[in-house]
Amino acid sequence: MTALPPMAATRTTCPYCGVGCGVLARPDGAGGLAPVQGDPDHPANRGRLCGKGRSLADTLGGAGRLTRARLHGRPVALDAALDRVAAGFAATLARKGPSGVAFYLSGQMLTEDYYAANKLAKGFLCTANVDTNSRLCMSSTVAGHVRAFGEDLVPGAYDDLDGCDLAVLVGSNAAWCHPVLFGRLMDARGSRGTRLVVIDPRRTETAAGADLHLPIRPGGDVALYQFLLVEAARRGLIAAPAAIGLADALADARADTPDLAAAADLTGLTPDSLHRFADMVLATDRTVTLFSQGVNQSGAGTDKVNAILNLDIALGRIGRPGAGPFSLTGQPNAMGGREVGGLANQLAAHLGFSDAERAMVGRFWGTDTVATGPGLKAVEMIDALEDGRIEAIWIIGTNPAVSLPDAGRFRRALARCPLVVVSDCVTGTDTQALAHILLPAAGWSEKDGTVTNSERRISRQRAVLPAPGDALPDWRLIQAVARRLGFGHAFDWRHPSEIFDEHARLSAEAARHFGRRFDIGGLAGLGRQGYDALAPVQWPVPVSRNGPQSGPRNGQLGHAGTARLTLSGDGARMVAVRHRRPDDQPDTDFPLVLNTGRLRDQWHTMTRTGRAARLAAHSPEPCLALHPADAAATGVQDGDIATVTGRRGACLLRVVIDAGQRPGEAFAPIHWSDAFAAEAAIGRIASPVTDPLSGQPELKHAAIRVERWQPDWAGILVDRSTAAPLRRGVRLPRYWTRHAVEAGRALIMAADDGRPVDADGWRSLANRLARGFGAAIDTSPPIELFDGGRGRMRIAWTGSDGRIAAVMALAPRHDDLPAVANLARLLDPAADRGPSAPPLLRLALLADHDPAGDGGGVAEPAVCACAGIGRSAILAAAGTAGDMTARLNRITETTGAGGGCGSCRGAIRELLAHDLVTA
Ligand SMILES: Nc1nc2c(c(=O)[nH]1)N[C@H]1C(S)=C(S)[C@@H](COP(=O)(O)OP(=O)(O)OC[C@H]3O[C@@H](n4cnc5c(=O)[nH]c(N)nc54)[C@H](O)[C@@H]3O)O[C@H]1N2
Ligand SMILES: Nc1nc2c(c(=O)[nH]1)N[C@H]1C(S)=C(S)[C@@H](COP(=O)(O)OP(=O)(O)OC[C@H]3O[C@@H](n4cnc5c(=O)[nH]c(N)nc54)[C@H](O)[C@@H]3O)O[C@H]1N2
Ligand code: SF4
Ligand SMILES: [Mo]
């Protein structure tokens, strides 16, 4: 590898979404990372990053990091913990056979980690009970690709987004979930006038900036694409009349949507908008269709995928520049996990379980104990844990106690399992609370390997920092257990480059024997240096194209790769599908439908993004978005807390009224767990019904009932210890939620029944909360202010250094609480001079920061996360002169808002439009 200049940053890849942005990272000299930057040379992002990527340095290290192995909660030597894991698995295998053990993996593991886990289980423990959170994420797309293309292939590339004239986003909130790609689409809009259509029941921020938003009835996507196919035939636009399966697919499409009225009925869309949509799609050759979880997470997910693919096959748009279907992958290595066979129904290298495939893989691995057939899928594992078929499970890089559907039942089932091993890099996740053994994993910035993004591009993640304590990369932990089980010879790697090399060679074998298109044989034999210098490359990279194609550039070695896959002749087939309704339908007891998904600035269960104050500002509390009509019918108002009850569980969420919801449908984010809120883990409500082909659960559709909960008091606590564990044995309030507000400071919002009657009552409530939430306060008497008439209390405690360590405000109603920023300021050394400060001064501070009626509780959220700019600053900067473009430019010039990843540009546009209307 050409040495980078001494102070140069390391090129690595963002560990969050499947866009796979390149980042530049360098140590800050104090054990952490300096703020990371986008890599201008990475083809996925060309220097851009979204707010999550930009905040990576804020999420590392410090308290809350898992640095030592634990056995039943107590720290133990790593070797001892690994001995226990191996002995436990060996005993379970002896007792129950291979089907009694299981692995639950993650699309956030690196390819090398994934390969190691899969090889151990499917090759040596003879079990295919290896599934991954990708089952909840991409499995319908995998099944749809296999039906249409015979293999899990994404034909297109990101270049198609730059070069399309129409982008259709189906069930994708890309402005929030794939922000940098959305930014590329926005650029194409500016440069070539690319139009945008968004198909989503909700008016998301992605939809807000679109030329056309189709607020489809949940589950209506198959019918919508049937209608387009029927229209294409009616207008004589079928470009591939010889396409395999056309006649059957068209017959079924006609059966579902014989005419416009039928299509309007099934999709809940107006005939007018259907017509307009058909005109746009059918008349625009360069149309890219991007799809994500609104498609996959459905009981009809695979059929939705094939309905979309059918249209592109019929119109001859597969593999053409600027056109075709494009599955947006969720996790950074969702694609890489599929390459190594991370799903229970795959073997490795895109192979299945036929005798010939098993024999070949067995020869390659040097084993005769290859699993004989598919294993249990994620949701099936819940049943198997419940009825004792699985008695040992190793969970790596995922938090299923939060993210699986019917999560309450999963937790009970896991609690019955005699051996639960969890590998993670942070402490305190909900899943860990049910584990017997915790293994400390090295995290992003500490480990080396590869990931594959949505466009089949393999990029290196590179280590920048040493792993703390006993933490090891996941493949090392897996290798250590494999050795203890007697398989050391097959897990003899010294560096991830050797695992990658084995994976590359296996893919070449699979391609040679079974004609698989997934072939990275050209990346075999790189050696450690070549691997370290590997530049981002799109598979296939077959052997014939071996050898570096370009010399070292910026210290990296380029290979040719394949931008676009052509799938001609029998390479693509149409599949006959029929419309089906989602399963968990509303009735009189559960009259509304709950849709779930993501927020812009949080990542999944918040174990990392939850530590960054600037990411919390956008949406600090777990919320439920309700249409105004449903809110009125339910008797809840904006800002109320509501009990949300489904058929399997309940949550307590803050109501947000949102006219962008379809009437009858609510939306809640997936991010909160028991570690961050009292009762907000939405997985407890989510439905475990699965797609019959892919096994992917219908996470976007559950019947619910919403009721107002009127607590007797509300409070906020600002505290200096961000990650303090919750104190056991202390009664916590029924509602609480916490997040980081500023570096090293946590904010807790709380509410409960039982209003104190006097100052003593409020004081003891405040003390109980401060201790329960682990505030680092000493025993000196707090400074307090009490307004008996209105029942409001302000109280400040000092820490062992004599400075104010925690401040709390309590009041009968949420609206009576002061602004958080005002309270937080009291912890500022500039405001509180520490032990030398006269007590009266502190009292004045407390009073000072209690301006009557400033209410609101929460600071203004950032509209632009990259620049940290809120609504008022944007409106102020916009001025009134000039047209929309002039005003947008002025905002970016003066505040920087909209100039980063660009994902907020739609929101700013809408803000300005709204501002014009109100003016
Ligand atoms: N900020 C952020 N970004 C992320 C993640 C994150 O946690 N946070 N996670 C990453 C991961 S793993 C994934 S999988 C992706 C997910 O990325 P997306 O799929 O874009 O995100 P979601 O919010 O899960 O769901 C997308 C939309 O599907 C809509 N939808 C629901 N039901 C239907 C339906 O029946 N039809 C249609 N057409 N739409 C429907 C929802 O209203 C929602 O707006 O995001 C990735 N990026
Ligand atoms: N209702 C509902 N449920 C959903 C979804 C939805 O839309 N609605 N979406 C589903 C989807 S698409 C997804 S992808 C899942 C995501 O759900 P999860 O995978 O459960 O969520 P994460 O918080 O990403 O969990 C990753 C865990 O791995 C840890 N970790 C991070 N890096 C490493 C590492 O290098 N090694 C190890 N060993 N651990 C590491 C993190 O600290 C964290 O605890 O949620 C699914 N669940
Ligand atoms: S879009 Fe954001 S979260 Fe996704 S890879 Fe890029 S920087 Fe990371
Ligand atoms: Mo995902």
Quick one: CATH architecture of 862-918?
Orthogonal Bundle (1.10)
| Ligand 2 and 699: CB distance under 6 A | yes
Other CB atoms within 10 A of residue 574 CB = 27
CB 882 within 8 A of CB 916: no
Token digits for 897?
A: 């808002």
Calculate how far, in angstroms, residue 51's C-alpha sits from the geometric centre of ligand 3. 8
| Ligand 3 and 52: CB distance under 6 A | yes
Pick the CATH number of 69-137+334-492 from 3.40.50.740, 3.30.365.10, 3.30.390.50, 3.30.360.10: 3.40.50.740
Tell me which CATH code domain 10-59 carries: 3.30.200.210
Question: What was the pLDDT predicted at 7?
Answer: 55
| Sign for the pseudo-dihedral over CA of 834, 837, 843, 848 | negative
| Ligand 1 and 310: CB distance under 6 A | no
| Ligand 3 and 337: CB distance under 6 A | no
d(CA 880, CA 873): 14
d(CA 814, CA 182): 37
The residue to mutate among 14, 206, 461, having the most atoms of ligand 3 within 8 angstroms of its beta carbon, is 14
Which residue, chain included where needed, has tokens 């307004």? 787
Ligand 3 atom closest to Cα of 453?
5
| Ligand 3 and 14: CB distance under 6 A | yes
Q: What are the DSSP E strand ranges found in 152-254?
A: 166-170, 195-199, 212-214
d(CA 276, CA 284): 12
Calculate how far, in angstroms, residue 300's C-alpha sits from the geometric centre of ligand 1. 16
Calculate how far, in angstroms, residue 328's C-alpha sits from the geometric centre of ligand 1. 10
| Ligand 3 and 36: CB distance under 6 A | no
Query: In 64-132, which residue ranges form alpha helices assigned H by DSSP?
Result: 78-96, 111-118
Ligand 3 atom closest to Cα of 178?
1
Calculate how far, in angstroms, residue 13's C-alpha sits from the geometric centre of ligand 3. 9
Other CB atoms within 10 A of residue 742 CB = 20
Calculate how far, in angstroms, residue 601's C-alpha sits from the geometric centre of ligand 1. 13
- Asked if 10-59 and 592-709 have one fold, the answer is no
Token digits for 801?
A: 């250094």
Query: In 39-100, which residue ranges form alpha helices assigned H by DSSP?
Result: 51-54, 78-96
Ligand 1 atom closest to Cα of 218?
35
Question: What was the pLDDT predicted at 2?
Answer: 45
Calculate how far, in angstroms, residue 633's C-alpha sits from the geometric centre of ligand 1. 28
Calculate how far, in angstroms, residue 199's C-alpha sits from the geometric centre of ligand 1. 12
Other CB atoms within 10 A of residue 261 CB = 11
Q: Where are the domains of the chain?
A: 10-59, 69-137+334-492, 144-327, 592-709, 713-847, 862-918
Sheet holding 457-461, edge to edge: 449-452, 457-461, 537-538
Query: In 817-870, which residue ranges form alpha helices assigned H by DSSP?
Result: 820-824, 839-848
Q: C-alpha distances in angstroms, 653 versus 368, 605, 641, 670, 675?
A: 53, 16, 6, 12, 15
Calculate how far, in angstroms, residue 858's C-alpha sits from the geometric centre of ligand 1. 26
| Ligand 1 and 15: CB distance under 6 A | no
Q: Which of 588, 591, 618 is nearest to 602 (CA)?
A: 618
By CB atoms closer than 10 A (0-12, 13-18, 19+), residue 831 is middle
Calculate how far, in angstroms, residue 381's C-alpha sits from the geometric centre of ligand 3. 31
Ligand 1 atom closest to Cα of 334?
12
Quick one: CATH architecture of 144-327?
3-Layer(aba) Sandwich (3.40)
| Ligand 3 and 55: CB distance under 6 A | no
Ligand 3 atom closest to Cα of 38?
7
| Sign for the pseudo-dihedral over CA of 423, 427, 433, 439 | positive
By CB atoms closer than 10 A (0-12, 13-18, 19+), residue 7 is exposed
| Ligand 3 and 21: CB distance under 6 A | yes
Which residues are placed with Cβ below 5 angstroms of ligand 4, an ion? 137, 330
Ligand 3 atom closest to Cα of 54?
7
| Ligand 1 and 696: CB distance under 6 A | no
The residue to mutate among 12, 13, 21, having the most atoms of ligand 3 within 8 angstroms of its beta carbon, is 21
Ligand 2 atom closest to Cα of 607?
42
In eight-state DSSP terms, residue 688 is -
Token digits for 149?
A: 């293309």
CB 426 within 8 A of CB 722: no
Pick the CATH number of 592-709 from 1.10.240.10, 2.60.40.1730, 2.40.40.20, 1.10.150.120: 2.40.40.20
Sheet holding 74-76, edge to edge: 74-76, 69-71, 437-440, 419-424, 392-396, 101-105, 130-132
The residues near 95 (Cβ < 8 Å, ≥ 6 apart) are 391
Average pLDDT along the chain, 919 residues, taken 10 residues at a time: 58 98 95 95 96 93 89 97 98 98 98 98 98 97 96 95 98 97 95 97 95 98 98 96 95 97 98 98 98 98 98 95 96 95 95 97 98 98 98 98 98 98 96 97 97 97 96 98 98 98 97 95 95 95 67 69 83 96 97 97 93 84 97 96 98 97 98 94 98 98 98 93 69 90 80 94 92 85 85 89 89 87 77 68 61 40 73 82 85 85 79 62
Calculate how far, in angstroms, residue 599's C-alpha sits from the geometric centre of ligand 1. 9
Calculate how far, in angstroms, residue 245's C-alpha sits from the geometric centre of ligand 1. 30
Ligand 1: which residue has its CA nearest to atom 8? 603
Ligand 3 atom closest to Cα of 603?
3
Calculate how far, in angstroms, residue 173's C-alpha sits from the geometric centre of ligand 1. 6
Question: What was the pLDDT predicted at 724?
Answer: 64
The residue to mutate among 14, 52, 173, having the most atoms of ligand 1 within 8 angstroms of its beta carbon, is 173
d(CA 671, CA 680): 9
Helical (H) or strand (E) element with 394:
strand 392-396
Tell me the pTM.
0.93
| Ligand 3 and 53: CB distance under 6 A | yes
Token digits for 452?
A: 């594959």
Calculate how far, in angstroms, residue 293's C-alpha sits from the geometric centre of ligand 1. 5
| Sign for the pseudo-dihedral over CA of 92, 93, 96, 99 | positive
CB 169 within 8 A of CB 199: yes
The DSSP code sequence of 341-381 is T-STT--STT----HHHHHHHHHHHT-S----S----HHHH
d(CA 622, CA 74): 32
| Ligand 2 and 686: CB distance under 6 A | yes
CB 106 within 8 A of CB 343: no
Calculate how far, in angstroms, residue 905's C-alpha sits from the geometric centre of ligand 2. 28
The residues near 207 (Cβ < 8 Å, ≥ 6 apart) are 198, 200, 213, 215, 660
CB 298 within 8 A of CB 595: no
Amino acid code (one letter) for 913: A
Calculate how far, in angstroms, residue 328's C-alpha sits from the geometric centre of ligand 4. 10
Residues in the chain, how many?
Answer: 919
The residue to mutate among 200, 269, 273, 404, having the most atoms of ligand 1 within 8 angstroms of its beta carbon, is 200
Calculate how far, in angstroms, residue 17's C-alpha sits from the geometric centre of ligand 3. 5
| Ligand 3 and 451: CB distance under 6 A | no
Ligand 3 atom closest to Cα of 17?
4
Ligand 1: which residue has its CA nearest to atom 19? 293
Question: What was the pLDDT predicted at 743?
Answer: 65
| Ligand 3 and 56: CB distance under 6 A | no
In eight-state DSSP terms, residue 607 is T
| Ligand 3 and 449: CB distance under 6 A | no
The residues near 762 (Cβ < 8 Å, ≥ 6 apart) are 756, 786, 791, 793, 810
